[in-house]
Structure 1
Amino acid sequence: MEMFLGPDHMATRTVMREGYRGILSVVDADDTVRAGVRAIASLGPAVVGIEAAEMELADARRAAVRGHFTPDEDANVQAWFARYLTARAGLLETIDDLRPITEADVNADAETQLRAFVVAYTAACLLVRAGRFLVSSFADHTLIQRKLNEGEPRFRIPRKQYTAIRKSLTDPVNGLRLRHAQHFADEHRADIESLGGHPDFAIVLEYLREAESSLRVGVREVVKARIDYRSHSVRRRHASAVQQAIFAIAEVFGRVIAETRLQWRTKRITEPTRRQIEALLEPGDVIITRHDDAMSNLFLPGYWPHAALYVGEPGQRQVLEARKDGVLFRTLDDTLAVDATVVIRPNLTARQIARALAQAITHEGKLYDFDFDFFRADRLVCTEVVYRAYDGVGDLHFELTRRTGRLTLSAEDLVKMAVENRGFRPVAVFGATGCPDTVVTGPDVAGFLATGGD
């Protein structure tokens, strides 16, 4: 049977969607598409890198022949799987972010809608390609399948992930939905290729050409699915053909998103809490955050998976933060749309902090590094923004930790430095053990952080 990712319905990401209810403006739609383009530019190499991970794949196959995993093989394979799941989550979220453009009353021109389709379609192709690679690589190795199904608390990997991915790749009805998107792409191929002249869009078309063959559907699967497809297909009234095509992709991957998230309806950090935290912040502070339902940065261990740098400028340039769409300035409200946070402050003078911020700002615009490779500076992971800002400023130095062959700095490492007063000190915490709904400040913060997470 041909393989396709995902069952039926789209998850409702309540908090993230509140800003999209009603008419999506031209500017918002264009910004959403631009963010999607940058995400594909970061995620495409991650998919290729996952497939090219010869050491980890060789470790898995040696274990299959031997009948058990050594500790090193176990760690290497689980870390590789964590990188795969992180890239997969990024691709799923890229599609989900584009869903508002399927609304009939969206205020976006035809070219913006077409670019949105190409980004979503490319993400879908990369998802199916990566999923096929995973399933086909280990289809005959039950020992490896059991290993990937174990779950791994160190990397926050839930159980039964391999089985869930394999199951999601075998739904013929969703294959027909993707075939609808593929037909739209075929019918508008000349228009799609013309987008290569659009700034930064050529890279998206490059990955589309490489991965699109993953969606080809066998004739038998088409016949088998056609009746079910007619009963399940969802028509979008008053929506354009391109919106219908984007919606078809969104429907395919919707439940996958729902199944990889806990069903929190709202984020625990509310508007009053954000304002309380904002009043405590000073330029140069590091904001450590956590989503209770996220499957991102799985390669970096710990309860606290993400870090951002508070710059302090008003408006849109308050925080410098690396996410799937790259290293960009973001609003504080955007950064704090999370469930838990820690604020730590460098033990440096105001002049030293200003120097560090000036250094950090030079990295604005770089892509996200889904390979978590601290050796390269053209793509950065979230904690690397902090590392490249502060390392060597005054007496502040970071000890990188080797994790499965890679030198890394996790957000949990930063929290530990603050608890131990090594270069940073803790300022505030919300959402840790003992303070699930209270902002704690002062000397008590270190005590709450020393107990770990929830």
Structure 2
Amino acid sequence: MIATTSELEHVKTPMFVSTPVVAETIHNHTQTLRACYLALPSLSELDVLMADAAAAEARGYYDPVEDERLRDAYTRYLAIRVSLWQIVQELHPSSHRAQFKPNQATDEDWRNFGIAFCAAEIIVRTGEYLIGLARTRNLVWEKLDEANLTYALPRKSFTRLYRQLTSAFQMHGFYRACETFDRNRAEILKKSDPYIQAVLTEQNLPTASRGDHLKRYRRFLRHSLKRRQNSALKNIVFSIFEMAGSDIADLKIPFVKPGRSLKRVTPEVIDALRPLLRPGDVFVTRHDDAMSNVFLPGFWPHSALWLGEPDLEVLEAKKDGVLFRELNETLQVDAFTVIRPRLPADEIASALTRAQKHAGKLYDFVFDFRTSDRLVCTEVVYRAYHGVGPINFNLIMEAGRHCLSAEALLNQGVGQEWFDVVAIYGVEDDQLHTGPEAKEMLSNSFDSAF
């Protein structure tokens, strides 16, 4: 995997001179890529994983601590991969023009190609580390292939990932992207922002040869035959700029919802909710089929903070960073609940002022609450309200890190009576419920402590 560097943390990502919408889109994609890159394990963390693998192989099994470290690194990679794939897909039309119609490509097209290619490079390079870790160690491979109910990972997820990253046929789109970058390196770097330039040049990401991938694919076939794993694997072309669709395991949890289904929270529901909201309310939400559910375990995986001001409706941390968002964006979900702090107006105002100081920061894919330079969704709420009045959240050790999940936030906030349940939608039916009924439905929706 690629080690993070302190220099890259300080590289600026300025807004481009373009239309406001285009400039903001490019900026947000770059911020997402930056957050993903900085979340990759450091060299010291990788050394620990290698030592764990050697110790596990020697004794014949992973102990619980080693198991948790490996699982954390794997799920972190998968979460980063999902976010990077979304960048590649969203930039597909523009970057396709740069690759196949260069005479018609605009500066924006070349910038988008640079961002998409950078995202794809990170996906492939980080995946290659996992392949190297597991290829000669059956125990590591078997561990990564285990089903994991906590993270909703199916069996043989790593075998599937290995095949995608070693098949010359499935990597065809990536090869062509590499060739385009090599032919147009100077122009792409010239039109890219400083952070993309830093990742593609200072880190000197190598361009893998087709021969290297063919060798890995042959090793995969030998390994598969040896293990007699004859399960049918979906034939998905790993094409970066000509994908007809995406791997269902990358972006959606399979078979949960029919394709192209609309979110269950409708504009009418949002309109009915607005009059009930007050500044300082906290949203806790879920998508029925989003892969974010996999990497944020529990029925309720996500949270956001309602500010209730024009142009500053919601403060929410997502993959593109901690940003002010419109309510309609935050509630593009299938279910939500709203909780309200039992605090006087002046203390709520103070908490919201404190929270807004974090606007513009990167998303924290590592989920490390000990630092505040990058924030995860629940950390916005935690840093707004912790220590205000009686509220005193207790961070919980998860995968070797102290953090606060959305369900822990609910359990502590409502269970300690620091927050009241205002409303809930999408749990037992598609109706908006309020008051005591909402609290009871929330309690029944997950492993609650209230």
TM-score range, shorter chain: 0.7 to 0.9
- Counting only pairs closer than 5 Å after superposition, residues 154-233 of structure 1 correspond to structure 2 as 154-195=150-191, 201-209=193-201, 210=203, 212-218=205-211
CA contact (8 A) 1:59 1:73 kept: yes
Moved more, 212-221 or 85-94: 212-221
CA contact (8 A) 1:57 1:77 kept: no
Larger relative contact order (CA 8 Å, sep ≥ 6): 1
Moved more, 333-342 or 78-87: 78-87
CA contact (8 A) 1:32 1:98 kept: no
What do the CA deviations read for 1:172-229 (whole angstroms, capped 9, x no partner)? 2343322221222122222222235xxxx2122222233631543229959x9xxxxx
The answer to whether 1:292 aligns with 2:288 is yes
CA drift at 1:327: 0.6
- Counting only pairs closer than 5 Å after superposition, residues 340-355 of structure 1 correspond to structure 2 as 340-355=335-350
CA contact (8 A) 1:261 1:294 kept: yes
Aligned counterparts of 1:343 and 1:155: Cα–Cα separation in 2: 25
What do the CA deviations read for 1:208-261 (whole angstroms, capped 9, x no partner)? 233631543229959x9xxxxxxxxxxxxxxxxxxxxxx962435943355551
Aligned counterparts of 2:163 and 2:387: Cα–Cα separation in 1: 49
The correspondence for 1:134, drawn from 118, 130, 154, is: 130
Aligned counterparts of 1:253 and 1:417: Cα–Cα separation in 2: 45
Identical positions, percent? 39
Equivalent position of 2:90 in the other structure: 97
The correspondence for 1:255, drawn from 246, 262, 270, is: 246
The correspondence for 1:423, drawn from 408, 414, 418, is: 418
Equivalent position of 1:30 in the other structure: 23
What do the CA deviations read for 1:101-148 (whole angstroms, capped 9, x no partner)? 3687xxx98121111111100000000011111111111222222222
CA contact (8 A) 1:126 1:211 kept: no
Structure 2 residue identity aligned to 1:343: V
CA contact (8 A) 1:324 1:368 kept: yes
CA contact (8 A) 1:373 1:407 kept: yes
Equivalent position of 1:13 in the other structure: none
Aligned counterparts of 1:414 and 1:57: Cα–Cα separation in 2: 34
The answer to whether 1:62 aligns with 2:55 is yes
Q: Which runs of 5+ in 1 are unaligned?
A: 1-24, 225-246
- Counting only pairs closer than 5 Å after superposition, residues 12-411 of structure 1 correspond to structure 2 as 26-49=19-42, 52-101=45-94, 110-195=106-191, 201-209=193-201, 210=203, 212-218=205-211, 249-251=240-242, 254-256=245-247, 260-262=251-253, 264=257, 265-296=261-292, 298=294, 300-314=296-310, 316-411=311-406
The 1:181–1:98 alpha-carbon spacing in structure 2 relative to 1, beyond 3 Å, is same
How many residue pairs match? The answer is: 397
CA RMSD of aligned residues (A): 2.8
CA contact (8 A) 1:50 1:83 kept: no
CA drift at 1:363: 0.6
What do the CA deviations read for 1:35-75 (whole angstroms, capped 9, x no partner)? 11101110111224488344344334322321223233323
The 1:136–1:56 alpha-carbon spacing in structure 2 relative to 1, beyond 3 Å, is closer
The 1:155–1:174 alpha-carbon spacing in structure 2 relative to 1, beyond 3 Å, is closer
The 1:173–1:389 alpha-carbon spacing in structure 2 relative to 1, beyond 3 Å, is same
Aligned counterparts of 1:271 and 1:39: Cα–Cα separation in 2: 27
The correspondence for 1:438, drawn from 415, 431, 434, is: 431
CA contact (8 A) 2:286 2:293 kept: no
TM-score w.r.t. the length of structure 2 is 0.81
Structure 2 residue identity aligned to 1:207: V
CA contact (8 A) 2:172 2:239 kept: no
Aligned counterparts of 1:298 and 1:58: Cα–Cα separation in 2: 27
CA contact (8 A) 1:321 1:382 kept: yes
Structure 1 residue identity aligned to 2:240: I
CA contact (8 A) 1:308 1:385 kept: yes
CA drift at 1:415: 1.5
CA contact (8 A) 1:155 1:301 kept: yes
CA drift at 1:355: 0.6
SS at match of 2:240: helix
CA contact (8 A) 2:341 2:420 kept: yes
CA contact (8 A) 1:33 1:98 kept: no
CA contact (8 A) 1:178 1:215 kept: no
CA contact (8 A) 1:129 1:211 kept: no
Equivalent position of 1:8 in the other structure: none
The 1:323–1:100 alpha-carbon spacing in structure 2 relative to 1, beyond 3 Å, is farther
Q: Which runs of 5+ in 2 are unaligned?
A: 1-17, 98-103, 218-237
Aligned counterparts of 1:134 and 1:427: Cα–Cα separation in 2: 45
The 1:51–1:152 alpha-carbon spacing in structure 2 relative to 1, beyond 3 Å, is farther
CA drift at 1:81: 1.9
